[in-house]
Structure 1
Amino acid sequence: MISAPAWMGDIARYAFLAVLVSWILVPLGISIVYAFTPLDVYYSDAILSTTFTLDHVRTLWVLGAGEAFLRSVAVGAMTVGISFLLGLPGGYALARYVFPGRDAVKLAIIATRMFPIIVISVSLLKTFFALGLNDTLVGLALAHTAMALPFVVIITGSIFGGIPRELEEAGMIFGLSSFMVFLRITLPLAAPGLAAAGMFTFLLSWNEVFMASVLTLVNRTLPAFILNSAFATPIEPIRFAAAFMLILPALVFMFLARRYLVTMWAMAAR
């Protein structure tokens, strides 16, 4: 049986990667280009524009995208803070302590993401009305925390599990308490992975649109604002500008997090 040359396998692999990258980059590129294309050029026969404008972004900003942008940042920051406040102890406990039912606890944590958000949205909205949290940034941050917390616990558990236990034992031998060992030894070693997990949590909150649309009416985040306002306009370049405003922070965060992601994966693989 004649085997295929090795270079054919390389070509197939590179072709698959090229298609995969194009599937992601081409829509992003189109959104970025048309977000700054003047209306007369967009509705002409020209394929690409040689002139660009910021009018579409300014229009969105005046319509309320600026306030929605700031609200998204605030909700994302609160989501990261609350998720880490609750998730770090849980992840550390799963990584360092052996107790009956630990695997069942891990499964139960993951199982919280089994159900579609729409299933719990009505009851959650009723609860938020009763607590006075409806249409508030704090209430939306709590809802996003409920979505992000399982990932934070599992990811941080993997990160802490990749740190040698001997380093913590050495700190205790030199007289440090358990809390100080965690603060001065474990936490600095886990910092790159935790930074990546924090960015992942922020992006999860940033891109979430369903809860933001259901739980808020006035204080809407940027995705909810774009879905309910910007995409309703018949002017297509404004829609592209809205898409650009939505994807830009995600691209920046992923660019900043790329080296932390590699470190996190390396620690989790140990």
Structure 2
Amino acid sequence: MTGPATTATPAPAPRGEAKTATATTAAARRRRARRRTVLVQTACIAITLFMGVPIYLVALAALSSREALNEFPLALLPTDPSFETMRVFLTSTGVTGAFVNSIEVGLLSLVLSLALGVPAGYAVARYAFRGREPYQLFLLMTRALPIVVLSVPLARVFLGTGLYDTTYAVALLHTALALPTTVLITSAIFVAVPAEHEEAAMVFGATPARAFTRVVLPQALPGIAAAAIFTFVTSWNEVLGAAILTFNRRTLPAQVLSTLSDSPLAYRFAGGFALVVPALVFIAFMRRYLLNMWGTTIR
């Protein structure tokens, strides 16, 4: 008679081989992590150069003397700094008024966009209503409209209402351009704010409005800052609508477009530099709230 069949069990691996395999796996993970880090840093450097090099070249040309700008090949480092070109541009007729108009239009567009977009974003995030998804899709579709589609009909309306050639007309146009993005950005931020925080505030006696302003709004400031940056930069850089809706009260981009098209190259660079600097200053001012949205704290 034969006994029952027995299953052979593999002998356990020696302890030294197990440690070696674990160390090899950990080393492979570290190498992959280093490769990912290098790739991310390389991508960040490439994007920074892509965005920063044109700004540097414009600044170099605007702050160089006419002789240095006409040299060939053009030096990549400042060899003969001069503020003469910028001084002449800034003191030219209409530039100061256009700069003030741009600031006024940008801030007014910012206030209107946030005043209308933040409550709309909160409603989209907190309340389920019929047609919410088509409404968000409609907001995205409005961004696909060319600026001339809005500018020409609005010019006719503003001519009839007396708003033509005013900063209010341009601000209304820029608000219409920025409002869809403001609603979508703020709604995404309000979704991330736990509703329990708001409910807890109301349990302790806060009204819905007070719970929103004291609990929800501070947590949504990064998203509101991002929407504010987008609105101001969009308004500051927009040129076609401002050129159509104004004649004497033009913003700085429209003024630069209309007056520097036949000017020497140095003054074109000066105009471009004057357009870039205020937007960079505004972004630098708002960066604290924007970086907090990404989990970074500036101390």
TM-score by length of 2: 0.80
| Aligned 1:42-121 pairs, distance under 5 A | 42-45=69-72, 47=75, 48-63=77-92, 64-121=94-151
Matched, 1:160 2:158: no
2:110 maps to a residue whose letter is: V
Alignment deviations for residues 90-132 of structure 1 (CA, whole Å, 9 cap, x no partner): 1010010011111111111222112111223221211111111
| 1:230/1:238 contact within 8 Å kept | yes
- Choose 22-31 or 74-83, whichever is displaced more: 22-31
Structure with more helix by fraction: 1
What's the counterpart of residue 145 of structure 1? 175
SS at match of 1:94: helix
> Percent identity between the aligned chains?
39
SS at match of 1:231: coil
| 1:192/1:263 contact within 8 Å kept | yes
What's the counterpart of residue 258 of structure 2? 228
What's the counterpart of residue 27 of structure 1? 54
What's the counterpart of residue 28 of structure 2? none
| Aligned 1:115-194 pairs, distance under 5 A | 115-194=145-224
Larger RCO, structure (CA 8 Å, separation 6 or more): 1
Equivalenced residues, count: 261
- Choose 157-166 or 20-29, whichever is displaced more: 20-29
Shift of 1:140: 0.6
1:180 maps to a residue whose letter is: R
2:276 maps to a residue whose letter is: I
What's the counterpart of residue 41 of structure 1? 68
Pair 1:193–1:27, CA change in 2 (3 A) = same
| 1:140/1:212 contact within 8 Å kept | yes
| 1:60/1:230 contact within 8 Å kept | no
Alignment deviations for residues 33-87 of structure 1 (CA, whole Å, 9 cap, x no partner): 1101111222234625422221111211222222211111110110011111111
| 1:88/1:156 contact within 8 Å kept | yes
| 1:87/1:153 contact within 8 Å kept | yes
- Choose 113-122 or 147-156, whichever is displaced more: 113-122
| 2:68/2:79 contact within 8 Å kept | no
2:63 maps to a residue whose letter is: F
| Aligned 1:241-256 pairs, distance under 5 A | 241-256=270-285
Tell me how far apart the structure 2 counterparts of residues 246 and 220 of structure 1 sit (CA, whole Å).
Answer: 14
Tell me how far apart the structure 2 counterparts of residues 116 and 226 of structure 1 sit (CA, whole Å).
Answer: 22
Alignment deviations for residues 217-266 of structure 1 (CA, whole Å, 9 cap, x no partner): 11111111111112320x21111111111111122222333342233356
Shift of 1:193: 2.5
Greater CA radius of gyration, 1 or 2? 2
Tell me how far apart the structure 2 counterparts of residues 18 and 253 of structure 1 sit (CA, whole Å).
Answer: 23
1:60 maps to a residue whose letter is: F
Shift of 1:135: 0.7
Matched, 1:239 2:268: yes
Q: Which runs of 5+ in 2 are unaligned?
A: 1-30
Matched, 1:260 2:289: yes
Tell me how far apart the structure 1 counterparts of residues 133 and 84 of structure 2 sit (CA, whole Å).
Answer: 55
RMSD between aligned residues: 2.1
